[in-house]
């Protein structure tokens, strides 16, 4: 029995090492985000079922929301690639490996998804420590501040990239609205 457990441990360690070698730390962050999205979707559906107001239309809206998040992360990855190409072409090198936008955007989404999961846990009747919700909210704020430090303060969504119907005054979040 011990040999089987050790074999499983060795296989798991090898898989983690191979994954890290393949995609590095950002891959683990992205994988964490995907897990957070799945957990938010499942817990949001469970909370809606508990309240008796689950609907396939709302579930589809949640999936469209997740698709939009994926697009935003893809934009940030492509932005990092473009910035890296431009800087390398000019002989400059970023000290942190050439990634900037994607980790910030992905971390922001992880924190908002976790906030939504905490909200869903409350809706399911579980006590959730106030300090945890506060910590998640402050984490989102810290990532926002880091992004603003790089590009300047938010202009309130008045950029050419933000259609009027897609603007969110509160920064948006998961299906529950992200009020953690």
Evaluate whether 52 touches 45 at the Cβ level (below 8 Å).
no
Q: What is the mean pLDDT of residues 145-157?
A: 75
Q: What is the mean pLDDT of residues 129-140?
A: 96
Query: Domain for residue 98, yes or no?
Result: yes
In this predicted structure, the answer to whether residue 178 has a pLDDT above a threshold of 60 is no
Query: For the segment 51-76, what is each residue's pLDDT rounded down to a tens digit?
Result: 999 999 999 999 999 999 999 999 99
Q: What is the pTM of this model?
A: 0.74
Query: Domain for residue 136, yes or no?
Result: yes
Q: How far apart are CA 59 and CA 109, in angstroms?
A: 19
List Cβ neighbours of 116 (8 Å cut-off, separation of 6 or more).
40, 43, 44, 173, 174, 175, 176, 177, 178, 180
pLDDT band for 97, please (50, 70, 90 cuts).
low
Query: Domain for residue 109, yes or no?
Result: yes
Q: How far apart are CA 79 and CA 102, in angstroms?
A: 8
Within its chain, how far is the Cα of 163 from the centroid?
A: 22
Query: Domain for residue 176, yes or no?
Result: no
Query: Domain for residue 46, yes or no?
Result: yes
What total number of domains does the chain contain? 1
Query: Domain for residue 47, yes or no?
Result: yes
Query: Domain for residue 172, yes or no?
Result: no
pLDDT value of residue 163: 54
Question: Which residues constitute the domain of residue 158?
Answer: 24-166
For the chain, the average pLDDT equals: 84
Query: Domain for residue 15, yes or no?
Result: no
């Amino acid at each position: 029995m011990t040999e089987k457990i050790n074999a499983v441990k060795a296989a798991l360690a090898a898989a983690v090492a191979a994954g890290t070698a393949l995609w590095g730390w950002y891959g683990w962050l992205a994988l964490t985000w995907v897990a957070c999205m799945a957990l938010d979707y499942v817990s949001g559906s469970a909370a809606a079922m508990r309240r008796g107001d689950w609907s396939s239309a709302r579930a589809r809206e949640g999936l469209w929301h997740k698709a939009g998040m994926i697009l935003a992360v893809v934009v940030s990855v492509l932005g990092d690639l473009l910035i890296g190409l431009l800087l390398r072409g000019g002989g400059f090198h970023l000290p942190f490996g050439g990634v900037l936008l994607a980790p910030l955007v992905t971390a922001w989404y992880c924190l908002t998804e976790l906030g939504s999961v905490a909200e869903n846990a409350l809706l399911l009747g579980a006590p959730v420590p106030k300090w945890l919700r506060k910590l998640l909210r402050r984490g989102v704020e810290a990532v926002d501040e880091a992004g603003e430090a790089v590009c300047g303060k938010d202009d309130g969504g008045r950029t050419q990239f933000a259609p009027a119907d897609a603007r969110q005054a509160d920064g948006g979040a998961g299906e529950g609205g992200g009020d953690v």
